[in-house]
Amino acid sequence: MQLHGFTAPRTRAARAAFELAAAHHSPAVLNHVVRSWLWAEAFALVEDRQDVDHELLYTSAVLHDIGLVPAFDNAVLSYEEAGGHVAVALTAGAGWAPDRRRRALEVIVRHNWPSVDPAMDVEGYLLETATGLDISGARPDALPRDFVREVLAAYPRLTLGQEFTASVTEQALRKPTTAAQRLVQGGIAAKLACHPLEGAPETLSDGQPSGRAGKAAEG
CB atoms within 10 A of CB 50: 7
Q: 180: closest CA among 95, 109, 124? A: 109
Mean of the per-residue pLDDT values of the chain: 91
Check if the beta carbon of residue 106 is closer than 8 Å to that of residue 58.
no
Over residues 152-182, the pLDDT tens digits come to 999 999 999 999 999 999 999 999 999 999 9
For residue 123, the surrounding DSSP H or E stretch is helix 122-131
> What's the rounded Cα separation, in Å, for the pair 75 and 180?
14
Over residues 71-95, the pLDDT tens digits come to 999 999 999 999 999 999 999 999 9
pTM: 0.91
> What's the rounded Cα separation, in Å, for the pair 107 and 36?
13
pLDDT at residue 213 is higher than 60:
no
> What's the rounded Cα separation, in Å, for the pair 107 and 89?
15
Check if the beta carbon of residue 106 is closer than 8 Å to that of residue 84.
yes
The confidence band for 198, taking pLDDT boundaries of 50, 70 and 90, is: confident
